[in-house]
Amino acid sequence: MFGSNREGGRTSHEIVMAAYGQTQYSPALQPAGPYTPYAHHSQGYSMPSYNIKTEDGLSHSPGQTGLLGYSNFSSTPPSQSLIICNFILCDGVSGEYHPPPSPPTPGKEEGVSARRGSDGKLRGRKRVSDPAPPLDSDIERVFIWDLDETIIIFHSLLTGTFSSRFGKDSSKAVSLGLWMEEMIFNLADSRLFFNDLEECDQVHIDDVASDDNGQDLSTYNFGSDGFQTPAGAGSLCLGSGVHGGVDWMRKLAFRYRRVKEIYNTYKNNVGGLLGSPKREEWLQLRREMEVLTDLWLTQALKALALINSRPNCVNVLVTTTQLIPALSKVLLYGLGSAFPIENIYSATKTGKESCFERVSQRFGRRAVYVVIGDGAEEETVAKKKNMPFWRVSCRADLEALSHALELDYL
């Protein structure tokens, strides 16, 4: 376990990290922001057209946990260990499938407008304190995860980075990435109010909760409440301290509350949220992506489950994806059981350092924070805050992480 004891000038966590090839830290780190835009691919890639919409820095991957039959790790070093995974894909549904009624939705499912670019992106209200419940004094270790290319493989499928690095079929990788991208935005637009909320993005799901008067939303009509003006909502959400009136802010808060309800209701039943035939498409996509990525997500889910099995540890997600598409990704990749919605933060507006500070304020200074990611930004912030950093550059790094967790080294 991590501690403050030093041996030969190094802390115990540095010794553990070094044993797994995790040198603290990479030299000459360069600052990194959200993923750069990628060009839209017009070719078919042996798949039907999905009317794809593109967005900066968005991640991917559907899935419900379907992890069975992991072999125990031997006592050999992680680099010499082999993990045998029997990956069984299901979404917890047995027998005849009867999807539950879909929740009330934005009412804009038809004729979805094209994605807006990042230029001129307007910001929502910034809150200093986290409206989460009081600090849990029992939490001893907080694992702060990056999403894209750490837990899930998405952006690198679209850019071709993953296929070139790991010797995969490039056209297949791009087509699966585009398919996943379409599903991410379809879910975000049709169920999670992304058309309404894109220009009023928040860091945390509860950041506008103080504007919510608690009104019953069971019969509320989001499609006709006048939330958006003909010119769009952007003029009403101009950054810190400048907003629409009280009535408009209340409607904004209603939408984020409804998103939270949908997430909590369907995080373990994504198939029920999608309905047929989208559910079948999603399951097929999950299978194909896991084959292409050599069970990358499966291995990440194992590490997440090991952490969640401990009463004194917690998983937190900090991503450069906007909050609503990030929630869509989390649901589609089957990560809902690993990350309560209160533990998901979007660094799109504020950067990861600000999010890390919010997380440390929430759980307290006595907890140990372990950062897991693939990018320079999270590594730089981890170094600045003296947090152990576990670098993920390939699936073997996730296997080594699970090994260290199983032996209680982390």
Which residues are known binding-site members? 146, 148, 374
User: With the CA atoms of 5, 368, 371 and 21 taken in that order, what torsion angle do they form, in degrees rounded to the nearest 10?
Assistant: 20
- Helices (H) and strands (E) in the chain — how many of each? 13, 9
In angstroms, what CA-CA distances link 37 with 47, 56, 78, 118, 167? 22, 5, 36, 9, 23
**C-alpha dist (Å) from residue 365 to 214, 323, 347:** 33, 26, 21
**299, 253, 269, 321: which is closest to 406 by C-alpha?**
299
The structure tokens listed for 116 are 């807006």
Question: Does 146 participate in catalysis according to the annotation?
Answer: yes
Identified catalytic residue from 56, 91, 130, 148:
148
- Cβ density class 154-181: b for 16+ within 10 Å, e for less: bbbbbbbebbeebebeebbbbbbbbbbb
**Amino acid identity of 237?**
C
CA-closest candidate to residue 96, choices 283, 274, 263, 276: 276
Alpha helices in 72-215 (DSSP H): 155-159, 161-166, 170-191, 194-197
Q: Which two tokens stand for residue 298?
A: 């499966």
* Cβ neighbours of 265 (radius 10 Å): 13
Residue 319's φ and ψ, nearest 5 degrees, are -130, 150
User: Strand, helix or coil at 38?
Assistant: coil
- Residue 155 phi/psi, 5-degree rounding, is -60, -40
**CA–CA distance from 102 to each of 7, 176, 216, 266, 405 (Å)?**
57, 26, 18, 10, 38
Q: Is 212 a catalytic residue?
A: no
Cβ 350 vs Cβ 7: under 8 Å: no
Residue set of the binding site for Mg(2+): 146, 148, 374
CB 231 within 8 A of CB 172: no
Cβ-in-10-Å burial (0-12, 13-18, 19+) of 302 comes to: buried
Contact 210, 82 (CB under 8 A): no
Annotated active-site positions, please? 146, 148
